[in-house]
Each structure stands twice: as structure tokens, then as C-alpha cells.
Amino acid sequence: MRLPTRPIARAAALRCCTQRPSSSFFMAPSAIAGNARHFATAQSMVDDAQAAAAAATAPASDNYVHIVEVGPRDGLQNEKRAIPLATKIELIERLAKTGLPTIEAGSFVAPKWVPQMNNSAEILQHVLQHKISSPVPISYAFLVPNTKGLANAAAILQQHAGRYVADVADAKAAAEAATTNGEEAAQPSSFLPAVELAVFAAATESFSQKNLNCDIATSLDRFRDVIREAKQITAAAAAASGTPVPLRVRAYISTVLGCPFEGPDVDPKRVAEIATDFMEMGADEIALGDTTGMGTAPRTKDLLRSMTAAGIRNEDVALHFHDTYGQALVNTAVGLEHGIRTFDSSVGGLGGCPYSPGATGNVATENMVYFLESLGMDTGVDLDAVTDIGAWITGEIGKANDSSVGKAVLGARLRESKL
């Protein structure tokens, strides 16, 4: 479904997915983060040849928005009824065909804490062993909450060395190199999967104790070891440089705009301090999670200003909104205006946190795509295809479809079919 948007310079979908977008919406980047410190990340460690290759394929405009699909992990983790492995894999494979550039696929958490994630190892193995068809290179993300979870994920990656890359830019480079060497031109299913890892902390002490069984300071000490060890895992060399690249690591911070135990007044400066700690540990991206959905436009703006004041660049920030109070898209607009270009969403509005009583699902991917494209932004995501997936997966697990856009699209189709 294509939306009636104003004319924009649309980059090719493959080009759009080679790196995280940057710059700002309505305001020049220099006006927002001119004095921001630049933290060393995995991307900055890649040698000059590879960096130049990636820069050559960067999006030409500020209109591209990177959507991270969290349905297979965050969307399903709170479901009480066990979901078959085959259903989870089918969900991932269907989503891969829609143009989504990143899919959060599982979590290496202890099954006693989150039973629904107990087959994440099999999911990672499937991603590495099978060429999942996709129109663009895809990064598959897995949470590793501690060193044990990391070790379990690392063991699988080691068994499949050479079957994955560290960044979608490397997947594209490898496909282009194969073509240059006289091999058959890359088909949609021939991209190597990128793999990235994620850790998560909390912005409030109460939620940290409930979710991680420790205070914030202790959790950060533990994650320092996890990130350091994760950065020692290197993926197959990209064709341009021949230098192994460390995996990307995303750091989530939960309850940044409200806590189920401490209320909505979370200190944005404290969030920025935690984010700065993560960046200095080597994290490549900070995902700010409104776990409870309590966030409002003014407090979202204050939070992003605090992040900028702490020296964290917009391109290193992602926003993760839950739609408990119907404010997710309002807060997304605030993020866009500030210059954020990476947003999480979940197909069908699936989600909820086992440690956040009353919190409902993530903002629906269907709603996010429609909203962004109606503003003239480019997501590269097929809204019709995502709508079909939302209807299918909610039916499979016996949940209501919480995407208003998805239901509207399905309704419009039904009316058209009767004409």
C-alpha cells in the first residue's frame, strides 16, 4: 500500500539499509548537536577502505527512517502460552520479506525468567544455517543479558563462522564482491545475515531490582564485561577491507519516561548518564525504552535534550515506545523533530513487559510505517505485507490485532472486494 505523500527524494531500499540514518527533522544537525562528543564505536574501528565503501552507499537524503522490528522478541516474550518454534521462525521469515532492515529475533535469557524465549538458540541457528529470503540485507538482533547468555550465543556463532557479518553494509559488500568475482549476481536470498547483540539496563532502581535483581550500578558493572566480551566476537571479513569487524552492540535503557513502581518522574539527566556509561563501554547504539508507555511529548523532548547535552549523537540513539496511553506516535514526532531516525515497533502492536504491570504492547509497525510515510519519510517497508503478517500472527497466538492502521487497511480491502 503506497500512501499519498508529498514528493521526496527516495533512496533505493538497498542503499537505505546499509547504515543507521543520521541528521535531523525540521532542524539542522549542527543546531542540535554541534558540540556533541564522538564516542568510539565498532563502526569507527573499521578501516578506512571499508568506511569509504559504506559512505559511498549512504542515503542521499534525511527522509529515511530505520525501523527495528521487535515483534519476535519483545512482542512475544510476555505471552503465557508457549508459541511453537515453527511459528516464531515463520514470523521472522515473513517479516524478512517486507523490507525491514533489523529484526529482533530472540533473547538468551534464562528460561525460568522468560520461558517464551527458551528456543532462541534454535532461532539463531536457523538464521545462520538458512538463507532467509529478503529484498535487503537484514541484521538479526539477540539479547544477551549476562555473560552466560553471551557465551551461549557466542558458541553458536563460533560454530557458524563465515556464515554471518557484523553489519548490513558488509552483507551488501560481500554480495557485490561475489558479483565482481564473476559469480551470479546477488539474489534476494543470497545476503549473509548480519548479527548484533543487545544488553539492557533500567533507568530506575526499583525496576532494575525487579528486572535484573540488582541495582543500576551493579548492572552496569556486569554489562561492562558483557560488552567487552561481545566486542571480541568478530564476523566474516567484508570484501572491501579483509579486516574482521566486531559485532554491533545495542544497549537498551528501560523505563526512561516512566516506571511502574516509581511513577512518571524519571530524571532525564540520570538516563543520559547511564547512556554515556554504555557508550564509553563500547555500545554502538542506545535504545531509549518507554516501557510503561507513560511518556509525553514534553518529557520526551526533555529526555532527548539531556542526551544531546551529554554528548550523545542522534545517530547513536533509537526510540522504543509502548502505546499504553496512545502517545507513541506523538512521541515519535518529537523524536523526528529532534533528529532521531531509528525507531522500534512491533507487528500487530504485540508486546508487554513481564516486569511492568499494566504496560501494553509496543507501537504497531503498521501504525509506525503509515505515520512516517504520511509525513513524507521513507521506511522501505511494505505496509500491505506487514498488515498481512499482523493479522496472521495475532490470529496464531489468539491475541487481538492492536494495529489501528492494520485493521483499517484490512477493512479497506474488504470494502474494495465487494465493489
CATH number for the domain including 68?
A: 3.20.20.70
CB neighbour list of residue 250: distance below 8 Å, 6 or more residues apart: 141, 196, 197, 198, 199, 283, 284, 285, 286, 287, 318
Q: Tell how strand 234-235 and strand 245-246 pair up.
A: antiparallel
Beta bridge partners of 140: 103, 195
Which of 208-217, 230-239, 352-361 is least confident?
352-361
Residue 118 falls inside a structural domain? yes
What local confidence, expressed as pLDDT, does residue 359 receive? 58
pLDDT at position 13, please? 37
| 353 in active site | yes
Give the active site residue among 16, 17, 259, 353: 353
Query: From CA 322, how far away is CA 344, in angstroms rounded?
Result: 9
11-15 CB contacts, 8 Å cutoff, 24+ apart: 11/59, 11/60, 11/61, 11/63, 11/64, 11/378, 13/99, 13/135, 13/136, 13/380, 14/135, 14/136, 14/137, 14/172, 15/57, 15/58, 15/59, 15/60
Place of cell 533528529: 339
Task: Average the pLDDT over each of 53-57, 154-158, 259-263 and give the range with the smallest value.
Answer: 53-57
pLDDT for 7 equals 31
How many domains does the structure of the chain reveal?
1
Domain that holds residue 88: 27-417
Q: Is the pLDDT of residue 187 over 60?
A: no
> How confident is the model over 135-167, as pLDDT tens digits?
999 999 999 999 999 999 999 999 998 899 998
Would residue 396 count as lying in a domain? Answer: yes
- The answer to whether residue 55 is domain-embedded is yes
Does any domain span residue 11? no
Q: Is residue 161 part of a domain?
A: yes
Does a structural domain hold residue 276? yes
> What's residue 9's pLDDT?
31
- Asked whether residue 109 is assigned to any structural domain, the reply reads yes
What is the residue-averaged pLDDT of the chain? 84
Question: Does residue 19 lie in a domain region?
Answer: no
